[in-house]
Amino acid sequence: MTTSRIIEFNIEGMDCADCVSTIESEVRRLPGIMAVKVSLVDNSALIKLDTTKVSESAIFDVVEHAGYEVQR
């Protein structure tokens, strides 16, 4: 049974490379994160996760706690 999944979602409030770096580093701290790619141009994130270790909601919460708005 495959437990990995790729999610993509929009993020509002990013305006520089530091924003991208902050979001990527915060999300990577979560257990079960396999890959993170945040795009300032597209205002989006593409994340590969292990669904047995982390939920989408937990990822969204971390991004929001960092000061950005997630399009759920």
Domain residue spans in the chain? 4-71
Question: Which pLDDT score is estimated for 72?
Answer: 81
| pLDDT tens column, 21-43 | 999 999 999 999 999 999 999 99
As a CATH number, domain 4-71 is 3.30.70.100
Cα atoms in the Cβ-side hemisphere of radius 13 Å centred on 19: 17
pTM across the whole model? 0.93
Task: Count Cα atoms within 13 angstroms, Cβ side, for 23.
Answer: 30
Mark 20-34 as b/e (b = at least 16 C-beta within 10 Å): bebbeebbeebebbe
